[in-house]
Structure 1
């Protein structure tokens, strides 16, 4: 068999095998190991400073000549020299993988020199995820001519006068379309240049940020917002209101907005009332800041909304959600009420929403622990077009809920019933056997019987445990 199959045919076979078969394939023979490695384009490694040195990493990576995506993760170096270790790893990856397009390093902060080497060694790099320590320097971005997606975590203490102010005057034409930044401090230099140079930005993600840069940054920040379509603001309480106001005044292209754990009631209200965009997706986790009047304003201002996701919004009542349901009955295709106690406080709410939202394709009711069969069943009976259903952590649901899902949701392709203690193995088995379009199910391994596993395999259903 080893001599009958040519390398190209072996590679095609390897591509079609599940990931779980990789170790078995590699153990057949040295030839199969070589062919298997040469067929790999994606690789994720967790490294240890104790048993992985940069030379050994270079040698290992040289066996994967067609690698296009690489992820390296490493714990902190015991002696504290994490930056030097990270630099050496990056240099090894850059020299060994010239065809890289996606690189993610969760290994500690990177210094300037390895980044300069990376820009030369991997000219086709389109996605980069790294950590940088202060003082900050961002001008190296101008050397990455193919980079479209950038994710940076900023670490270290704030340092005044940390950036060459002369360089800020020289704008670059960055091709960045997605920009994710974590840990910006108020007063950080260099961001005015970055904002001015991001003229093609489509997606902006800010996490745990206290500011958007030094005093020159706010005026420059507006430049990168004009064509933005997606914005995510996570734990950025001190700057959320400022950014939302700038979005409302300067961005008409915004289609998706996510705000978690930040902002104020008035800031959110101002954005909703002033915005001129055709928002289609709204995702909010604002336990103490989201109220009914916000939902009423959303129903009035964003008629084209197709996705509404709410998490832990304890001040919202059924009145606001019913208004949303009535106003968007013909547009809303995704609804998430995650850990929202209004589901438990107001009997009949889910029934009303199910009757209103007849075009619903995705429903997420995860972590509503007190949700019972009667309330859930009354909604799901009207949701005949669901393709995705998430019930993770709904401990009050029982086997009866699964029976009705299989009867009512004939178009269901994906379901998450992880940590639903009342749903037993026998119900999962019947569900897998009777749901005609099912392609993915997430459930505890203990609830997958041999019959269910065999049936899932024959119907090409992915079982995630």
Structure 2
């Protein structure tokens, strides 16, 4: 076969080989290895230290054997921030790179400038930087649309917030960034004002583990002019939630998706819901002690949120059936995805899932993972009304048994993806019944130990993916 098939046909075959098997292709012959590497467009590499000249040369040679590489992720740690050999090797070897995720170590200004000159097509960068913050290098990446910055090291006395680049507005440029993600902002990070002043076209904003936003005046101006913002994520950033939500409630009408994890504010979130004029479609909250029924009732009463198609709640301990039922009635004609993950209201209030199922008959995705006291009767009664489900996640629901699997097969004829991993009441027989009798099922997440030979054969014949 090695001599019969042409290069183009072999490369097409390689593209269709699933990831677990593709790694063995390079072991067949030198030709196959060369063709595989020359057709690879995406790589994820872990390259630990030491970074001596020999290892860097090998790394660079390996990269040059992938001439069409457009996406690269490198991790390892331990590199020298002043002279980053790994990043310089990437810059020298990957001229066609579009996306780079480089979290090995804080990168130096010299390495970034070299990268901008060599990889002119870069549109997405995720890197680690150190203080003091400087962004002189950013305008050189003329194709950049997405930027993720992980800020490391502590503030020191040498980090002077009064440096000229912060105050000098003449250095402002028009950046074309559409996605901005920042992790680890501290109160003294005034150098970020350059970003706040120059990012006017942001559509997606992520703030993670942030205690502050640097310069308040610049940040408020940034928020007020975000007319294009569509997606906002606030993760473990309790100290800045108020200023972000209250400002956007007044100014932003384009917001489509909101995520808040591990640190919110009851009052500011409620005010945002009551006053916001945006037509929110996706809401994802993990607020164990900051979300209650008042928020859900306010959501149901704000007509601007009647277009909500996805609601995801995780570990929300203070929510009760009253709020969820009100929301279910209000969103009956539109909600397509519901997640109640590790929410004890599912176990605490009998009949709640039945009511939600009867109201939300257009649900396509349902996630009840990690409700370890959820029993068959409650799930079965809900699924009886959810005939349009294509995705169902029940991971970690220990009380469910094979009876629940029977209900899934009977009620969910359109089901394509299901997760029943770590459901200890569902055994090999239940998994086999699900695989054999679900005509549209394409992916099942379950422990390998629960797969019988019959289930494996049927899954293979139906081109079904088993994720263990």
Tell me the TM-score normalized by structure 2: 0.95
- Deviation by residue 1:154-180 (Cα, 9 ceiling, x = unmatched): 011124325523554422221211111
**Equivalent of 1:327 in 303, 327, 330:** 330
> How many residue pairs align between the two structures?
460
Partner of 1:254: 255
- Deviation by residue 1:98-146 (Cα, 9 ceiling, x = unmatched): 0011111121111111111111111111111110010111231111111
1:173, 1:198 within 8 Å by CA — same for their partners in 2?
yes
**Equivalent of 2:137 in 136, 140, 154:** 140
Partner of 1:175: 176
Unaligned runs of 5+ in 2: none
Give how far 1:12 is off.
0.9
SS in 2 for 1:65: coil
Give how far 1:282 is off.
0.8
Partner of 1:351: 354
The answer to whether structure 1 residue 157 and structure 2 residue 159 are counterparts is no
Give how far 1:215 is off.
4.2
2:166, 2:194 within 8 Å by CA — same for their partners in 1?
no
Partner of 2:46: 46
Q: Superposed, which structure 2 residues align to 1:286-435 within 5 Å?
A: 286-301=287-302, 302-435=305-438
CA distance in 2, matches of 1:91, 1:275: 46
Residues 376, 193 of structure 1: alpha-carbon distance in 2 compared, 3 angstrom cutoff: same
Q: Superposed, which structure 2 residues align to 1:111-150 within 5 Å?
A: 111-150=108-147
Give how far 1:251 is off.
0.5
SS in 2 for 1:329: coil
Residues 41, 265 of structure 1: alpha-carbon distance in 2 compared, 3 angstrom cutoff: same
Partner of 1:193: 194
CA distance in 2, matches of 1:215, 1:238: 13
Partner of 2:448: 445
1:58, 1:96 within 8 Å by CA — same for their partners in 2?
yes
- Deviation by residue 1:212-258 (Cα, 9 ceiling, x = unmatched): 11244233322552210000000000110110001101100001100
CA distance in 2, matches of 1:365, 1:103: 35
RMSD: 1.5
1:192, 1:220 within 8 Å by CA — same for their partners in 2?
no
CA distance in 2, matches of 1:365, 1:453: 26
SS in 2 for 1:225: coil
2:291, 2:318 within 8 Å by CA — same for their partners in 1?
yes
SS in 2 for 1:355: helix
Residues 220, 422 of structure 1: alpha-carbon distance in 2 compared, 3 angstrom cutoff: same
- Deviation by residue 1:395-441 (Cα, 9 ceiling, x = unmatched): 11011101110111011111111111111111111101111111111
SS in 2 for 1:284: strand
Partner of 1:225: 226
Deviating 4+ runs (over 3 angstroms): 166-169
CA distance in 2, matches of 1:148, 1:223: 21
- Deviation by residue 1:346-378 (Cα, 9 ceiling, x = unmatched): 000000000000000110001000001011111
CA distance in 2, matches of 1:283, 1:19: 31
Partner of 2:20: 20
CA distance in 1, matches of 2:172, 2:251: 21
CA distance in 1, matches of 2:327, 2:198: 39
2:220, 2:247 within 8 Å by CA — same for their partners in 1?
no
SS in 2 for 1:181: strand
CA distance in 2, matches of 1:221, 1:199: 7
1:168, 1:192 within 8 Å by CA — same for their partners in 2?
no
Tell me the TM-score normalized by structure 1: 0.96
1:187, 1:215 within 8 Å by CA — same for their partners in 2?
no
SS in 1 for 2:20: helix
Q: Superposed, which structure 2 residues align to 1:204-243 within 5 Å?
A: 204-223=205-224, 225-243=226-244
CA distance in 2, matches of 1:175, 1:112: 20
